Each structure stands twice: as C-alpha cells, then as structure tokens.
Structure 1
C-alpha cells in the first residue's frame, strides 16, 4: 500500500485522487501527505480541500493561518469556491495585510476573537467570484454592499447582486433579497413581496429564513398574527441551532402561544439558548426557577442563570440576582453583593434597581465601599429632574445621606416631599424628617399624617412608627389601645421591636389592662428574634418569677445574651441572680 502512495505522489492528479480515497477510508496521515503533494504542485482543488482540512482540523491539526494561505493560493489561481471562502473569512476578521504563518494572532483564531470584518478585502474576493457567475459570490457581494461601511455601502447595487444570485435559485441569494426588500417595505404589498424570497430560502432549509418567518408571523409584520406558524418556523430554526429561535421557541412554549403550554420543553429550549449565550433566555430560565409554578422553585438554579444573564449585561437579571443576595434565597445572604448587582442594573437605567439600592443605603445595610465610585446621585438627579417620582426619592436619599454629593438635608427633604405624593417610602421618610426636625422645622402633626399615609398601605416600618407615636402622643392623641392593636399587626410580620413593645404594654403602667402572661409571651418572642432589651426583660421576668415560678437557669441564659449585645444593665441583674432568689414581696411589686 505504501508503494502505491509513493507511485501516486509522482503525479499530482493521481495524488489527489488517492488522497481522497485514503481520507474516506480513515487513513488520515497518509491522505494528508498526498494532499500536501497535490496542493504544493498547484492543483487548486487540492489547495481548496487542504484549506478546508486545516480550518476544520480534520486531516491536519487545526491551523486557520495555513487554511487562509491555501485558500488564497487557490483563489489567486481563479478557483471560485476558494474566492468565496476567502471573502467569508475576511468578513469574519481575517486581515488582508498579513500572510503566511503570521496571518492571525495565534493558532486559535476564530471569528469571535477576530479584530473585526475587513470589508475591502472581502469585497475584492467576492466581486471576483460574482463576476465569474458564482451565485454564492453574488450573494456574498450583495451582503457586503448592503452591510459594509461608508464608501462600500451601496444597497441598490446589493439588491441587484442579490437578484442575480436568487435567479440561480441560491438560498442565500433569496434570503438576502428578501431581507433587503423587507427593510424597504412601506406597504403591505411590498411586505408580501419581500416575504416570497424569504419563504424560498426557508424551503431550501436555511434556518435563518425560518427564524425571520417566525418573527414575521409572531409580530404580524405585514401579515395577520399567526402564533402557530411562528412556532413552527421557530422550531425549525431552533433545531438547527439558531440561538434566537431557541429563545423564542422556549418563551412561546412557556406562554402557550400557538400551542398548549409546555413548561418542560419550554425550559429545555430556553436552557439551550442560554447555554449558547443568549442573555434574555438565561434571564427567563432564572425567572422560571425563581417563580416556581409548573416547575418547582429552585433559587440556587435561578441564581446561576440570573448571573449568566447579568454578566452579559441583562439589567433585569442583575436586579433579580441582587434581590436573591439581599434575601439569601439560593445564595449566601450578602447585602454588599446585592448592592453590587443592583448597581449594575441601576447603571443600565433600571428604576426598580435604583430604588432598591437607595433603600439599602437609606437603611445603612451596605458598606460605603460597595457603592463608592458609582455616579448614583447623577442617575437619580436626572430622573428627579425629569419628574420621575422614584428618581426624586432616590435623589433625596443621596442628599440626606451624602452619597456622591455633600449632605444637604434641607434639599433632601424638598425632594422627599415631591416624591411623597406617589412613593410610599418617601411618605415614611418625609414623615420621619418632620418628626425629627431634620432639614425641615419639626412638625409632629404633619409627620403623623405622612406616616399614617404610608401605614395605610401596610408598610411595616410606618405601622410601627405610627404605633409608637400613638403610644407617646406625638403628633396625635395618646392612644395605648390603638398602639397595641398596631403593634400586634406589625408583630405578626415578625418585627422584633413591635414584639418588645407589646411585652412592655401588657406588663403594666399603660392604659390597657395588665396581662403578665401576654407580656412574658411577647418578651420571649422578641428575645428569640434577638432583640437585646427583650432579652434583658425576659431574663428579669424569669429571675423574679413575674408570670410564674422563677426560672433562674433560663434567666441567666437570657441575661448573658443581652449583656453580650452590649446591654450593661444585665450585669447587675446577673449579680442579683447570683445572690439568691428574689424575695416574694419584691416579686409581687413587679419589675
């Protein structure tokens, strides 16, 4: 057999024929040697096939530089398919100025790594192929003229070359012609005319044509909406790996558009598109896992997909990821990491993310380093100036907290007042500023009015402050029973401060009946929620036996927990506990 290889190598045409047979039989090394002989002898078919082998990494190790060198050799000899291939490579980033082994930055050149299309070089090779009558070359030339930079752009000429290619029934010619006609269509008749060549391209099996027809039928471009036809075309394009079609198909299957809802298949197609790098699909997969419903919720999985979308610049996904970090759903709870992702979304103009970020800053839940360097005040000032209420609230936060600008509570109060007409958080914070006299003259009655407006929406912090104002008679009549009812509503949401307040109210000294069992219950609830003063009071009540027999061991536990949180009063209680039981007369006297 090796003797036959040697004899074939003496004649380039025979070497090429034998190389093809050996390649088909799987004898790659022997085929490669004979291909090289034929290509070096100047056979353009061999040069073209060697170039393809280098580009695909089949008979030779993948080497785009060598592939380009052999395509160029064949193209310069007049081989039209090589001219077309070389034009395509220039569109993918091959630079005309280089040649030989230094043609690319390294041996891993690919379109994604390339420095950008070289339209002049692509134009030259495509024109040679087109002038030779190549339908492929004509469609390539049409593309270059339709999409090239100034000096090359000539859509009228592009239309002519696309028509010539389509006249030879070349699928890409049909597709280019249809797309160019569609871009010029300004009547229903012209839209229908443009659809015809796209349909011919789809009939020839071009996945991109199927995707375009899917868009046309889904979005009713010159036709009545037809979700079922859109779904059919998206499916055909998706099967052939068109990422956008996979995303569209998945979304339609989820929504049941043009079909019965199918969340399992919908998720599968969205996942394929997301893996291929589609940020919208990744965000949809993340949302699917976060919401649950037909599929069980999985916040850890949601975080993975939200991150993929956010890193690709999807601002809604960045906000969603930030909220997962804020709540600790699927990820370790981390307010600073939440702020980082919210800042990404906010930088893209996401108003909800801007509001969430402002609230984090307002409640001092993030370190200043997490937001340093961000032009937060500029985003909000622009939005506020345009009349946006959320922007006004956020800008007020920047002014009152000195974020990116000098602290100016008076100006901050002014913007809070503007936002308070529509924004619940602004009503609450403007009420607090009126109550505390920050940036505005203190006005407890006006403060109570704004805080009540926020409380009426169910805002927990506003309800708690409204209850406190009723308790102390600040800005409103003193009303301990009303305060108790409000604290009870808030406590049911898990608010430790409200639980502590209920313990104090029921413990005596207020305008409601004493209920020591209820007081002990609420002190315990608040203490278990890590409220320091509630831990102190629970320890005292257990030490003194104010709602049952004394419990010195448990009392010591709670007093030590309070002391560990900085409540120094617990130290003397621990000393008293160590001294022995409380006298009965002292227990009866209360706390």
Structure 2
C-alpha cells in the first residue's frame, strides 16, 4: 500500500461547481417564495425582467435546488435570460451545464463557445474553465494561457492548476519551484488542495528541502478544512513521529476522518491496524469492516487482505472458498501476490477443486509480474518434475529471478543447484555466493550447507573451525542436521575442543527434533553408558524412534539388544526380525549376523544356502567376519561343494584386512599343506609369502 498520497492532482478538471468560486451576485440569493412575498406577489419573471443579476440568481437556485425543486433545465432557461444580456457569470454557467451534461447532452464544443464569451469579458472562472477544456484536449499552450489569466486574477483553483501543470511538466518543462510558487498563491486563498500539495512537496523534498515539520503544518491547514487526503497523510506523520510528536491516538482519529470521507487508503490502513493489532487492539471483525469498505471501492490491497483473512481462518466453514473469490478480484486487477495465492489454493485443493493446471497457470501469471514466491514455486515444480516437466535449467532460471529479489529459499536452492551441478556446470564459487546470501538472511539450511562445504573442503579450503562456526549458527536456530553435525564435532574434537557433554547436549537436541542418526547415537550412549547413565530402556526408546525412520544402524542395534537380552527379554525371533530389516537396507553387519544365525540355526531353521546368500552380501561389502565364515564353509563343505581354493581366497581377503581369526586359520592350513605342491600348495605358498 502507498503510505503517502502524492502531489499529483488534476490541474483544474473543472468538474465541480468550485470552478465558479466567488462569482455570486452582490444581491445574494433568496428563496423564490421570499422574492415573490417581498415583491407584493408579483411573478418572478416580472421582478427579474431586465435584471441579469437577479435572473442569474434564479438560475443558480434551480441548479442547486435552493428553495425550489432542482431543475437543470429551468436553470439553463434563467441563465439564458441573463446571458442574452452578456452577463458573463451566466454565460460561464451555461458552459458548465453543457460541459457536464446537466439538463443538456454533454457537449464540450458548445461549452467552449460559452466559456469563450464569458472569458472574453475577463470572467476568471470562465477563463479557467476554458483553459481546462484546452487541457483536456492536450492543447497545453492555450490551456496555460487561459488558466494563467484566471490565476492572475486571484482565482484559487486556477492558481493551483498552474502549479500542477508545472509540477507535472504538462506542456511545459517540469519546474518544482514554480509549482511551489503557484501552490503557495492558491494556499493563501485557503484552497485546501493547494495547501495539501505544498505539504506533500515539503514531505518529499520536491523543489524545497525536505521538512516534515513544515509538511505537517500545511497538511493541518488542509485537514482542518476537511480535505481527506491531508487528514490521511497527516495521520501517517503522527503515527511515525515525523515532524510532529508521535501520537497514535491523533493518528487514529485522522485515519477515521479520512476513511469516513471514502479515502480508500485510510480505510485500508484502518483495516490493517485492526488486523495486526497495531495502535488498536487486534479485532478481525473491525478489520474486515474497513477492508470491505475499501475493497468495494476497488482497492486492490484491501481485496487481497480480505483474501488473506479468509485464508487464515476468518471463516472456518468456507474460508478458502471466500479467499479464492477475493484473491480473484485482486488478481483481475493485476495483483501478483493474489495470483500466487490463487495458485497455492488450486495446487493443494484447499476448499477449491484441486486443479494443478490452473495452479500452474496462476503461478506463471504471478511470475510474469516478477512475484518472487511464484518464481520460487515454479522453480521447485521444474526441479522436481511435479506438475511441470523436469527441467533443471528452467528451475535455475526461476530460482535466479527470485533469488535476485532477495528470496532466501530461492538463494539457497540456486546455491544447491550450482553445488550439485544439476542442469549447469558444477560451480562451487557460485554455490558459495548464493548460499552466503541466504545465510546472511539467517536461513538455517544455507548456514548448514556452508558448514558442509567447509567440512568437506568443497570450493573452499577444508576448515573445521569455520565448519563448526556455520553449523553452530544453524544449530542455534533449531536445525537438526546442524545440531547433529556440531554434536559429532564436539565428540571428535574437530574444529572445537573435544567436549563429550556438549556433544551429548547437541546430539540430544537433534534427536528430539527427529534426526534419525542422532537418535541412533543417543540410543548407543544410553546403551553403553557413555556421557550418560547406562539405561537400556532409554536406549531402546531412542533406537526405536530411529528405526521407525528406517535407520539401519538402529534396527541392527535393536536386534542386538534382543539377542543379548538388554532392556528386553531375550528373543531370537525378534533378533531375526530386526536384523532382516537392517540387512535388507544393505547393512553389512546385519547381513553377516543374519547369515550367521542361518548358519548356526539360531532363531531360525538352519539353512546353509540362506546363510551363504546373506554372508556373501556382507562379504562383498568388505565384512571380514563374513569373509572368514564363507572361507570356512568352503573349507568344510557346509552348504557348498568343498572347495579349498575358494576357501583360501575368502580367508585371504579377511586376513588382508588384519582379521586375526582368519590369519590364524591360514597359518594352520599353511602348516597342514607344506608338503602339498598341487593347487592348494601353490596357493599356500602365496599365503605364506603374504604372511
């Protein structure tokens, strides 16, 4: 919403009776009944005949409905009587009737003829009205000529209009100083619009040094005459304490005075004040009342605000439907944020029919107007290929446009795209640039991402201290990933002094926010009594929370606790159940353990083939225990054809990892095979050399 009305006003539109200021006859006007009574019952025609001043007065009485029923037709009849006697005021009034289409068809050509007749006699109001006719038709030199003539006679509206033409540069070079000069002349004649305009020029420092105090003084003069825009602008100054002492109650009074006169900015602002509870207590009903007044007068910001009130639950029954109606009214006036909000309603089907196509259509309309939120949403749709074709380049294009407007989420996503090289060449420097912009707006995800880049040395020199610094910034805002990361850094003493208590504190925060890895680690600490009192039940609770998020280490640990009967009754069926969950996610330890259980027939029916299947999965991930068991199975022929060569291969893989049991088995086999120079003997020579 514009906070201040500008100086820009029509340069004497001539569409009001004010254009005939100070032109009434010296006799004054009386009701026709009084005129007839004072004239001993003679007719009006009789008592006014040959008296153009009286005839003009009667015409004005009919035009204004003063003592008689209003009749523009009768007014023109009486004006014509006076005009036929070259009475300039009547000629001007006939021109006004034709110009405004009162009692006659609107006809600027005829109006102009009558204005010329009066103006040629030096009638100031006619000179002004003639000038406005020329101005209406963009004949600016003639407009200035005639309006200036009226202004030089002291015609207040003409003086203001000359100022307005200089202010706007209307047919002449723009000149704020001359505009101020003429506004001041008009103001001296107490013309409220001119006083307001002088105030506005002082407020904005146009042609004069900016001076809020002087601006307030001029606004006050206009406001005291009931000029509504001056009341509104003065209210803003009182609210913000500019040029006057801050006075919310005075501001509120002035807002109401302006609003009661139909100033939509004031009506909207009163709605806003009650909506947010600023100056006045928060009151949604009063806010809605003022918003509606302004909205019905076409104020787009009020239409949008009504939409947001319904969107936020003003009407719990049909809130979003009403929101959509008001957003549509604002959107049809080109309000970009309303278009975006309509897109959201249609995309998610909030009390309106789910319609992704219409949602996308409104996003695009808002985006075309540069709405950052719409650009961000379009970018996300292209990035994820949801309701729009997957297109990383187009996603980046949308994100960049929003990011350049300071949209923090868009800055983050732009940085992520450059970091990951999706749709563009990977560029860590550009990634860091955009992530830093988002981080400067305290975006926790951006702060966390910068921490990761310093931790991994991507695009920057590896620096654990800076990583910890950025992780801490995000962690302080409740970012679970950052809390987990800084917890690990305290645990390991990386970038910070090693501190197990702080490590536990941060890891616990992350765990409480649902971070699965943190929940697993906290569970392990309670299980092992590291940094906390040992508590198997507490450990199991944390393991279960992590396991619900498919955290494989936690699933494996739960199986281990059932296996050992720690905090729970020993239950091999439960062991198998949890080991299988972890094993199916590729957890090597779980794959080895479930394979061993099938090998030994513990908790399951013994099945060497099933055992071999799981052990091979673990062994291929480098699990030395699994490699040992596979080697022994080939050596003994358990579930497989006895094969000493394969046995040695698997045992050697485990031994090379420093697996002590495998090394011992190999030593024993080496001694047994010293005399064997066949394939096994040759293999054992290799083993011997390795050992």
TM-score by length of 1: 0.57
- Structure 1 residues 363 and 292: CA distance shift in structure 2, 3 A: same
- Structure 1 residues 326 and 23: CA distance shift in structure 2, 3 A: same
2:205 to 95, 99, 103: 95
1:210 to 275, 279, 303: 303
Give me the whole-angstrom Cα distance separating, in 2, the residues matched to 1:253 and 1:236.
16
CA distances 1:373-422 after superposition (whole Å, capped 9, x unpaired): 96543553685xxxx86554232245467776456688547744775675
**For the Cα contact (< 8 Å) 2:346–2:358, is it kept in 1?**
yes
**For the Cα contact (< 8 Å) 1:343–1:371, is it kept in 2?**
no
Larger radius of gyration: 2
Give me the whole-angstrom Cα distance separating, in 2, the residues matched to 1:172 and 1:414.
52
**For the Cα contact (< 8 Å) 1:362–1:401, is it kept in 2?**
no
Aligned to 1:162: 255
2:217 to 111, 119, 124: 124
* Correspondences of 1:255-270 after superposition (within 5 Å): 255-270=348-363
**Deviation, structure 1 residue 143:** 3.6
- Structure 1 residues 157 and 95: CA distance shift in structure 2, 3 A: same
- Say whether 1:248 aligns with 2:341: yes
Aligned to 2:475: 380
Give me the whole-angstrom Cα distance separating, in 1, the residues matched to 2:541 and 2:264.
67
CA distances 1:553-583 after superposition (whole Å, capped 9, x unpaired): xxxxxxxxxxxxxxxxxxxxxxxxxxxxxxx
1:424 to 516, 520, 524: 516
Aligned to 1:23: 138
Aligned to 2:183: 75
Give me the whole-angstrom Cα distance separating, in 2, the residues matched to 1:346 and 1:264.
34
Give me the whole-angstrom Cα distance separating, in 2, the residues matched to 1:233 and 1:59.
43
- Structure 1 residues 15 and 265: CA distance shift in structure 2, 3 A: same
2:486 to 362, 377, 395: 395
1:329 to 417, 422, 425: 422
Give me the whole-angstrom Cα distance separating, in 1, the residues matched to 2:544 and 2:457.
24
CA distances 1:447-481 after superposition (whole Å, capped 9, x unpaired): x9999989956879959999xx9xxxxxxxxxxxx
* Correspondences of 1:55-454 after superposition (within 5 Å): 66=174, 68-78=176-186, 80-85=192-197, 87-88=199-200, 94-95=204-205, 99=208, 119-149=212-242, 151-180=244-273, 183=277, 191-221=284-314, 226-274=319-367, 276=369, 278-334=371-427, 337-338=430-431, 341-342=434-435, 344-345=437-438, 348-359=441-452, 361-363=454-456, 365=458, 367-368=462-463, 376-380=471-475, 390=481, 392-399=483-490, 405-406=496-497, 412=503, 415-416=506-507, 419=510, 423-426=515-518
Aligned to 1:47: 163
Give me the whole-angstrom Cα distance separating, in 1, the residues matched to 2:169 and 2:422.
50
Please provide the CA RMSD for this pair: 6.6
- Structure 1 residues 362 and 425: CA distance shift in structure 2, 3 A: farther
Give me the whole-angstrom Cα distance separating, in 1, the residues matched to 2:548 and 2:450.
21
**For the Cα contact (< 8 Å) 1:35–1:50, is it kept in 2?**
no
CA distances 1:417-460 after superposition (whole Å, capped 9, x unpaired): 775675333367789999xxx999xxxxxxx9999989956879
- Alignment gaps of 5+ in structure 1: 1-7, 25-30, 61-65, 104-116, 441-447, 470-485, 502-511, 532-583
**For the Cα contact (< 8 Å) 2:274–2:281, is it kept in 1?**
no
**Deviation, structure 1 residue 214:** 1.9
* Correspondences of 1:484-499 after superposition (within 5 Å): none
**For the Cα contact (< 8 Å) 1:377–1:405, is it kept in 2?**
no
CA distances 1:241-270 after superposition (whole Å, capped 9, x unpaired): 334333323322333335323434433443
* Correspondences of 1:442-591 after superposition (within 5 Å): 456=547
**For the Cα contact (< 8 Å) 2:256–2:266, is it kept in 1?**
yes
**For the Cα contact (< 8 Å) 2:274–2:280, is it kept in 1?**
yes
CA distances 1:4-25 after superposition (whole Å, capped 9, x unpaired): xxxx9xx99699568626626x
**For the Cα contact (< 8 Å) 1:283–1:317, is it kept in 2?**
yes
Give me the whole-angstrom Cα distance separating, in 1, the residues matched to 2:399 and 2:316.
35
Aligned to 2:50: none
Which stretch of the first structure deviates more once superposed, 258-267 or 37-46?
37-46
Aligned to 1:546: none
**For the Cα contact (< 8 Å) 1:381–1:395, is it kept in 2?**
no
- Structure 1 residues 290 and 587: CA distance shift in structure 2, 3 A: farther
Give me the whole-angstrom Cα distance separating, in 2, the residues matched to 1:252 and 1:95.
44
**For the Cα contact (< 8 Å) 2:196–2:219, is it kept in 1?**
yes
Give me the whole-angstrom Cα distance separating, in 2, the residues matched to 1:362 and 1:454.
28
**Deviation, structure 1 residue 205:** 1.5
**Deviation, structure 1 residue 48:** 0.4
CA distances 1:490-520 after superposition (whole Å, capped 9, x unpaired): 999999x99xx9xxxxxxxxxx999xxx9xx
Give me the whole-angstrom Cα distance separating, in 1, the residues matched to 2:316 and 2:582.
55
**For the Cα contact (< 8 Å) 2:552–2:581, is it kept in 1?**
no
- Structure 1 residues 381 and 130: CA distance shift in structure 2, 3 A: closer
**For the Cα contact (< 8 Å) 1:50–1:67, is it kept in 2?**
yes
CA distances 1:291-336 after superposition (whole Å, capped 9, x unpaired): 4333323333333333444444444334433443444333433456
**For the Cα contact (< 8 Å) 1:390–1:423, is it kept in 2?**
yes
Give me the whole-angstrom Cα distance separating, in 2, the residues matched to 1:452 and 1:282.
41
Give me the whole-angstrom Cα distance separating, in 1, the residues matched to 2:468 and 2:130.
67
**Deviation, structure 1 residue 371:** 5.4
SS of residue paired to 2:373: helix
